[in-house]
Structure 1
Amino acid sequence: MPTLRNVGLLAGAALLVIQATSHAQVASPPVPPPPAQGPAPAPLYDVTQLPAVRGVVRQFTQTPRGDIDGLILADGTEVKTPPHLSSEIAYAIRPGNTVIVHGLRAAALPLVRAISITDEATKITISDDGPGPGRRLDAAGGAPTVSSGRVRMPLHGPEGQVDGALLEDGTVLRLPPDAYRAVTELKPGQTVFAEGPVLTTAFGRVVEVSAMGTTPDRLEPIVPLPPAPPGPPPPRP
């Protein structure tokens, strides 16, 4: 039979437990949920006012580092995109899908400098808002090898300069800047042999060309043209 002393001890212990529990609940309030983020800001300019091109994506083009820098449409139109949009394009655009491209058309080339691209299947629109944080495919090609094939079409830089070629098997050849001497070997239907590191990604195969020729035993190094000589000095007053 419990004594009065034991009952008093049990009651005191229960009171301590209740106080400790109450203190713990006061000291650890629930964490409030993070504030909800507002909607993304609307773009400053209305890109739909720019000329639009609609077509089916045949394939991507890539830089020698593996970044997507454009699309080739089924009708042969070349769409140029900045490399900093590489990750967004890889996520949103699918070869075989129809896209609507708003941008600037070249006057004498089937070339469009894209400002926005909408994939009609994924319903995603990608707009060029300038360089920002993004993932780069910092891959590198292996040892230089010789690749060959027939040229389907020359490829261009954003200003319309020839900077490579697309072969009929889908391989992309990329030339170093100002390598204008090699342009004559990149005509459609021309068979070329190109030496350089080869990079293969999920989006295709790209060769960083260091030498090129029409036969494998006559490969000439691709070097930039020397700078133009300075002009005559201005006349003296």
Structure 2
Amino acid sequence: MHWIDPACLPEAKGTLTQFLLNPHGEPDGFILDGQRQVHFPPHLGTHIAQRVAPGDTVTVRGVRPRTANIIAAVSIAVDDGEPVVDEGPHRDDDRHERPEVETHAAEVTGTVMLSLHGPRGELRGALLDDGMSLRMPPHAAEELQAYLAPGARAQAWGDMVENTHGRTLDVSEIAEQADPGSAADADAGTDA
């Protein structure tokens, strides 16, 4: 969003609870005060992760879609620092390249604490109670809304990536768990 002047945008301030990763292991957002998602483009992920950490008080300026509790950040700053401003991904011919990342097959189970969205408000996954994020394409997430709603017990399978910033599962199948005590009682899996 390099064409938007951050000074004209609404400001939100709070404590960074945890980073969110995309399926390539890049930070592409964080949770503010445990309840609001902040999204930023992956080309800013490394830079932001070097400037802020969980527990820091941050000020975010950005836009909020009508349909979701998310801020698409244009600038992010710690209290006494210069803000990181989204100037667009292709400054000075510096192209963003996806990092090579190791993934491993995994199965996870947990209670959904927060639905996760893309910058335009499209549903893209969920944050579980243990901090694990589930990610899937918007068309799949839209069909599986009930599995990704706060309070749902979800069991998911896919490729997991984890690093110092967090853990995310690129979901290939998901099921709603009927009894929190028994993974064997999960509804039939649904492809994501």
Q: State the TM-score, normalized to the length of structure 1.
A: 0.70
Q: Percent identity?
A: 34
Equivalent in 73, 77, 89 of residue 131 of structure 1: 89
Give aligned pairs, total.
178
Secondary structure of the corresponding residue to residue 197 of structure 1: strand
Aligned mates of 1:94, 1:137 — CA distance in 2: 21
Tell me how far apart the structure 2 counterparts of residues 45 and 151 of structure 1 sit (CA, whole Å): 34
Counterpart mapping for 1:1-237 below 5 A:
46-120=5-79, 123-132=81-90, 133=94, 134=96, 136-142=98-104, 144-179=105-140, 180-215=142-177, 216=183, 218-222=188-192
Q: Is the 8 A contact 2:72 2:119 kept in 1?
A: yes
Gaps of 5+ in 2: 178-182
State how far apart, in whole Å, the 2-side matches of 1:44 and 1:145 are. Answer: 40
Deviation at 1:187, TM superposition (A): 1.2
In the TM superposition, what whole-angstrom CA distance separates every residue of 1:14-45 from its partner, at most 9, and x where no partner exists? Answer: xxxxxxxxxxxxxxxxxxxxxxxxxxxxx986
Which structure shows the higher strand fraction?
A: 2
Structure with bigger gyration radius: 1
Q: Which SS does the other structure have where 2:121 is aligned?
A: coil
User: Aligned partners of 2:176, 2:69: CA distance in 1, in Å?
Assistant: 26
CA contact (8 A) 1:50 1:103 kept: yes
CA-atom RMSD, angstroms?
1.8
Q: CA deviation at 1:181?
A: 1.4
Secondary structure of 1:109's aligned partner: coil
Judge conservation of contact 1:57–1:95 (CA < 8 Å) in 2. yes
The answer to whether the Cα contact below 8 Å between 1:87 and 1:136 also exists between their aligned partners in 2 is no
Q: Report deviation, 1:184.
A: 1.4
Distance change (3 Å), C-alpha of 1:116 and 1:200: same
Give the TM-score taking structure 2 as reference length. Answer: 0.86
Partner of 2:139, secondary structure, is coil
TM-superposed deviation, 1:214: 1.5
| Residue 156 of structure 1: how far off its partner (Å) | 0.1
Give the counterpart letter for 1:192 in structure 2: A
Using CA pairs under 8 Å that are at least 6 residues apart, name the structure with larger relative contact order, 1 or 2. Answer: 2
Query: Whole-Å Cα distance in 2 between the matches of residues 90 and 167 of structure 1?
Result: 21
Supply the distance in 1 between the matched residues of 2:34 and 2:10 (Cα, whole angstroms): 17
Partners of 1:136 and 1:125 lie apart in 2 by 24
Q: CA deviation at 1:75?
A: 4.8
